[in-house]
Amino acid sequence: MAALTIAAGTGNWFSALALGVTLLKCLLIPTYHSTDFEVHRNWLAITHSLPISQWYYEATSEWTLDYPPFFAWFEYILSHVAKYFDQEMLNVRNLNYSSSRTLLFQRFSVIFMDVLFVYAVHECCKCIDGKKVGKELTEKPKFILSVLLLWNFGLLIVDHIHFQYNGFLFGLMLLSIARLFQKRHMEGAFLFAVLLHFKHIYLYVAPAYGVYLLRSYCFTANKPDGSIRWNSFSFVRVISLGLVVFLVSALSLGPFLALNQLPQVFSRLFPFKRGLCHAYWAPNFWALYNGLDKVLSVIGLKLKFLDPNNIPKASMTSGLVQQFQHTVLPSVTPLATLICTLIAILPSIFCLWFKPQGPRGFLRCLTLCALSSFMFGWHVHEKAILLAILPMSLLSVQKAGDASIFLILTTTGHYSLFPLLFTAPELPIKILLMLLFTIYSISSLKTLFRKEKPLFNWMETFYLLGLGPLEVCCEFVFPFTSWKVKYPFLPLLLTSVYCAVGITYAWFKLYVSVLIDPPVGKTKKQ
């Protein structure tokens, strides 16, 4: 009985939270899954049945392998478990194969890999300073943080309904962040290098890592005013960091270098032939840009400034990934987005270099990097917003200002994921889970910071409340109106533009707060 007590953990809230969400994930197994399910099945088949030299050349299915080598190896390992479930799913020619055993195996592999995420969250909770420990368990920052991370709405629907393996990847990222907090810099760098070779989207936040490690690890001391002491530079540390990154990359890319396939691998990893925006515009700067273009073209047509015959007919959100010609505004090239992204990232990097604020400053810079690339990147997926939301959760439980930005960012970011699930049976699930997460995050953070000024001003409150009517219009009213046939893309456009406003606002507000925040030395004096 005693063993049972310990195992079940009386009062051990963390394991209860983790187990609870795991069970919820199990309940989500029969839900709708997107083509990503077939993508991953195909990768299982490719890595299982073909030699390494074929991995990045195989193109029977349209869903070719376009993740870095570590992920391919991960699929390779999975496939050796998969063969005990159903041998058929490992056949490259078996397109769109989804037996019930395949479904079970793939879903459970995601759930099982989330163990790493749970461990990472556990480690992150240790890094949160518990100064403001209230009497109630539910008011402790650690408790709130673990709910915000473990029960994250975006991660739940993207991984366990839509189907992807983001859980353990974010686990790696959070774990490396936690290691940096714990001053175990080498481990942190190693984990992040590994992560990069699992999924290259994390390159977005690499600048923050690079600068932080260089500034706060390779330079061992600061001047009293917080500025850099150039003679404290440690060559041993730089070299060891470089060695770690180099070794990891060699392990990952080495075999393909030996096979002389690197160009092919990179052409798969960075497909610039895709359009500026995904089929559904991610709510970023380009969504606003496209929206403005639409509005201008409609006004232009009304006022007869534009010739209807010169306007390209393809509507942007018709569901296909395609090049899109802007009608009024100049078209955007990949290079332009790259420059915009770099310009957007630079100030935060400068901040990290000139006003080092320890791991917290790093975390804010990381969030800004992720958000800025989301704002201006080429062919950004709406799912990439999680890259900003999850690290930002760590900040939100420590400072009221960050909490308010976090809430705006999360709520709009999560809402912008709604179009991922468009089937009727999943409609209640996404609404319920969204309400669950949003109500919890807002209420708990409000309780946590109840002694400080209110988290939202009237404008922000109004904006967030507006999401409710927007959802009602888009999914309950619009399908019954006559516009459904004429403008089928209108709900997506509205959602995208509305959310883009909120995310841009959050990005801007976070930037301002980072830039005007005094360096750590001065705050201590105060």
Which residues would be at the binding site for another protein (CB under 8 A)? 1, 4-5, 8-13, 16, 19-20, 23-24, 26-31, 136, 138, 424-425, 428-429, 432-433, 435-436, 439-440, 443-444
Roughly what angle, to the nearest 10 degrees, separates helices 400-415 and 426-448?
A: 170
Nearer residue to another protein within complex by CB, 1 or 485? 1
End-to-end Cα spacing for the chain:
54
- C-beta of 1: minimal distance to another protein in Å? 5
**Min dist. Cβ of residue 424 to another protein (A):** 6
Residue among 154 and 283 whose Cβ is closer to another protein: 154
Two structure tokens written together for 429: 């699930």
Are 402 and 395 spatial neighbours (Cβ–Cβ below 8 Å)?
yes
Contacts of 347 (CB under 8 A, 6+ apart): 511, 515
Task: Tell me how far, at minimum, the Cβ of 429 lies from another protein, in Å.
Answer: 6
Nearer to another protein, 111 or 351 (CB): 111
d(CA 341, CA 392): 19
Type of residue numbered 345: I
| C-alpha triplet 425, 390, 403: angle, nearest 5° | 105
User: Which one, 57 or 478, has the nearer CB to another protein?
Assistant: 478
Count CB atoms within 10 A of the CB of residue 354: 12
Closest CA to 469 of 491, 485, 489, 454: 491
Nearest-5° angle of CA 267, CA 159, CA 14? 130
Nearer to another protein, 213 or 421 (CB): 421
Q: Which is nearer to another protein, 12 or 182 (CB)?
A: 12
Answer whether 9's CB lies under 8 Å from 16's CB.
yes
At closest approach, how far in Å is the CB of 236 from another protein? 48
The three-point CA angle 225-231-232 to 5° equals: 75
- For 287-354, give the secondary structure using H, E and C: HHHHHHHHHHHHHHHHCCCCCHHHCCCCCCCCCCCCCCCCCCCCCCCHHHHHHHHHHHHHHHHHHHHH
Contact 416, 496 (CB under 8 A): yes
Smaller CB distance to another protein: residue 440 or 478? 440
| Min separation Cβ 144 and another protein, Å | 12
**Least distance (Å) between residue 476 CB and another protein:** 13
Nearest distance from residue 44's CB to another protein, in Å? 22
d(CA 312, CA 258): 46
- Closest by CA position to 407, among listed 148, 131, 134, 143: 148
- Residue with the two structure tokens 């163990």: 115
CB of 355 to another protein, least distance (A): 37
- Give the span between the Cα atoms of 200 and 196, in whole angstroms: 5
d(CA 221, CA 230): 9
> Smallest distance, Å, CB 2 to another protein?
8
Write down the least CB distance from residue 11 to another protein, Å.
Answer: 6
| Nearer to another protein among residue 137 and residue 335 (C-beta) | 137
Nearer Cβ to another protein, position 29 or 228?
Answer: 29
Min CB(254)–another protein separation in Å:
43
Under 8 Å between Cβ of 64 and 268: yes
Q: Shortest gap between Cβ of 31 and another protein (angstroms)?
A: 6
* CA–CA separation, 264 and 430 (whole Å): 39
Residue number with CB closer to another protein (28 or 316): 28
Distance, CA of 358 to CA of 180 (rounded, Å):
9
304 Ramachandran zone, left/alpha/beta (phi>0; psi -120 to 50): left
Type of residue found at 183: K
Please state whether 9 falls in left (phi above 0), alpha (psi between -120 and 50) or beta.
left
Instruction: Name the residue nearer to another protein (CB basis): 141 or 359.
Output: 141
| Nearer of residues 5 and 318 to another protein, judged by Cβ | 5
